[in-house]
A and B are shown apart, each in its own frame.
Chain A
Amino acid sequence: MAVKALAVLAGLALLAVPPFLPKYFLEVLISILFFAYLGLAWNLLGGYAGQFSFGHAAFFGIGAYTSTLLLLRAGLSPWLGMLAGGLLATGFGLFEGYLSFRYGLRGPYFSLVTLAFAEMLRVVTVNLKVVGASLGLVVPSQTNALLFVFADKLPYYYVIAVMTAVALAITHRVAGSRLGYCLVAVRENEDAAEAAGVDARGAKLRAMAISAFLTALGGTFYAQYFAYIDPTITFGPAISIGGLLPAIVGGAGTVLGPVLGSFVLTPISEITRAMLRGRAGADIMLYGLVLILVISFLPQGLMGWLRARRAS
């Protein structure tokens, strides 16, 4: 109960405070919510269904490239292009998921195959001149709200805040629904779940579809916010890891976990980078250390630790 009250208060603060924040803090907050959003998207497949994807960059990249290419080649607003990207990513996710689940890939082998799929997309994109190859694509940045381009950071903040809120709502809804219970059952014991009438493959595919769709929307946001995308940023392992870390650290398989995880991790990264100016890599090094520590001492993530403390 206390957690929920705190969460509501935090939510209100997140709505009301930003207009008064200095630019730098606003940027950090956008970063925090961005990774919280990606974490929430990953969490549906990774946390609830227990299928640890290391290749969510595939969906991110599909989202980013689809909306950007539709904008550049057909003048389509990214607000709509976003949805197209989401649908394409969902299709790819179902394809990838169907093959993996049909052929019984579980655990680390599933992780590896998702990584391979993402890398394949990256390599193809690097070698396709028509989508910019390794030079990437520049997103037009003349201010135009209808084309998802804003002069200021504040509107971007509210976009990602709404996206995060929606992802939270979806997660909450799924967790309490038939799908949620079935996913957790599959995660805990797939054979027993089947015996109890759960269509394991169907449940996993549903989780994959939602997860892929949401992740792709994140890709479009990134493209519009940073106005530049390339194969390494969008299809590379860094963004895959960036999405799963907050979920793991915060608590995979919980609603608030990814958000909590991002609120802890992202500031750490920012502070480290600020303290060690010019020393690239210090923040990720710390991430690695945090991951090792969390797995070793808090395997259920921060949410699990909080719950254990409340129980005792």
Chain B
Amino acid sequence: MSGGLFLQAVVSGLLLGGVYGLVASGLTLIFGVLRIINFAHGAVMMLGMYATYWLWMLVGLDPYLSVLVTAPVFFGVGVAIQRIVIEPNRDAAEHNQLLLTLGLALFLENLALVLWQGDFRTLRVPYASASFFIADTLVEVPRLIAAGGAVVIAVALYAFLRGTVLGKAIRALAEEREGAMLVGIDVGRIRAVAFGIGSACVAVAGALITPFFYIAPDVGESFNIMAFVVVVLGGMGNFLGALVGGLIVGLAESLGAAFLPGSLKQFVVFLIFVLVLLFRPEGLFGGARGR
């Protein structure tokens, strides 16, 4: 294939990969602190996209600006979900907790289906088709903003985790639960906050992609799977791994789409997933092991 197509694939892959990274950061944070694999993550993203859509349709609020609304709202939604559904079952068997988030995913996705039907919706902003060329490579502005926004937020989150008291408490709980309890960290509150932050991240990621991605009740499903692949690849609970893993998966998917016919790019991603799970479950950068 020509160098031009290859470069194009790389650029697309990196741009989408940035978004994957943000989605995965939320998931890996939730796993790191609560030790659950949140099957409902994609559903929350989908809800974030719908919220952005309705803010645009009803109030005319630009999707990028609406992030200022969606972030805190979905932080609250995440905290509520954690407090109502997950925390009461924190001592349940691992596989039961997984089923719990699965039930949540089914509920939320189909709630959206009931409320808004399955038709695809699109959010047409005036600048939706803005683009420019770098050499021969096309860069679409909305995708660039999405990737940029995702990276900025992820970096901000990283700084928060490193620099603030709350952030350090979260990391303490993730790394050493009993020690954290001993020094008086309010475990329940931190768990709710972590879930809230994770949910806010993924909802915002959804908001960022609405200018160029369709909105439908099942849109979260594919991002869900991608997020799992990224998190496993980067290492469960490893924040940096989620970001880098996102870029790698984005690249793999995009190159797969360029090289392989039809939708076989998905096969490539799943293959990576299976291989990592089997042969390097701690991920590229080290995280909780699957064994």
A–B touch (CB < 8 A): the answer is: yes
Which A residues form the contact surface with B (CB < 8 A)? Answer: 50, 52, 99-100, 103-109, 111-113, 115-117, 119-120, 123-124, 126-127, 133, 237, 241, 248, 276, 279-282, 284-285, 287-292, 295-296, 299
B37 within 8 A of A: yes
Q: Using A123-B267, A295-B96, A299-B96 as known contacts, say yes or no to A109 and B290 having CB atoms under 8 A apart.
A: yes
| Complex contact B106–A120 (CB within 8 A) | no
Contacts of B96 in A (CB 8 A): 295, 299
Q: Please report the C-alpha to C-alpha distance between residue A296 and residue B86 in the assembled complex, in whole angstroms.
A: 9
- How far is B117's CA from A276's CA once the two chains are assembled, in angstroms? 13
Known: A126-B262, A284-B106. 15 other contacts (CB 8 A): A50-B95, A52-B95, A107-B290, A108-B290, A119-B266, A120-B270, A120-B274, A124-B264, A124-B267, A127-B263, A241-B106, A281-B118, A285-B106, A292-B100, A295-B89
Query: For the complex, would chain B's binding face be called helix, strand, loop or mixed by DSSP majority?
Result: helix
Q: How distant is the Cα of A105 from the Cα of B94 in the complex, in angstroms?
A: 14
Q: Which residues of A contact B139 (CB under 8 A)?
A: none
3 closest pairs, A vs B, by CB?
A288-B107, A281-B113, A288-B106
B residues less than 8 Å from A281 (CB atoms): 109-114, 118, 217
Which residues 258-287 in B have Cβ within 8 Å of A in the complex?
261-264, 266-267, 270-271, 273-274, 277-279, 281
The answer to whether A104 and B266 touch across the interface, beta carbons within 8 angstroms, is no
Query: Shortest CB–CB separation between residue A77 and chain B, in angstroms?
Result: 32
Chain A's closest residue to B225 (CB) is: A119
**Interchain CB contact (< 8 A) of A111 among B95, B104, B217, B281:** B95
Assess whether A105 is in contact with B107, with CB atoms less than 8 Å apart: no
Given the interface pairs A291-B102, A295-B96, the reply to whether A112 lies near B232 with Cβ below 8 Å is: yes
Smallest beta-carbon distance A114→chain B, Å: 10
Nearest A residue to B265, CB-CB: A123
A–B Cβ pairs within 8 angstroms, 11 of them: A105-B278, A107-B94, A108-B95, A111-B95, A279-B114, A281-B113, A284-B109, A285-B114, A287-B103, A291-B99, A292-B104
Q: What residues of A have a CB within 8 angstroms of the CB of B257 in the complex? A: none
Is B108 located at the chain interface by the 8 A CB criterion?
yes
- Tell me the interface secondary structure of chain A in the complex: helix
B96, B100, B103, B274 — most chain A CB neighbours (10 Å): B103
B103→A289 contact, CB < 8 A: yes
With the chains together, A44 CA to B255 CA distance in Å?
Answer: 40
Q: Which residue of A lies closest to B277 (CB)?
A: A113
B156 at the A/B interface (Cβ < 8 Å)?
A: no
Residues of A within 8 A of B114 (CB): 276, 279-282, 285
Whether B278 lies near A123 (C-beta < 8 A) is no
Name which residue of chain B comes closest to A133, CB basis. Answer: B262
Q: Does B105 contact A (CB under 8 A)?
A: yes
Once the chains are docked, how many angstroms separate the CA of A107 from the CA of B99? 11
**Complex partner residue of B37 from A108, A124, A292, A295, CB under 8 angstroms:** A108
How far is the CB of A107 from the nearest CB of chain B, in Å? 5
Q: How far is it, in angstroms, between the C-alpha of A115 and the C-alpha of B37 when the chains are bound?
A: 14
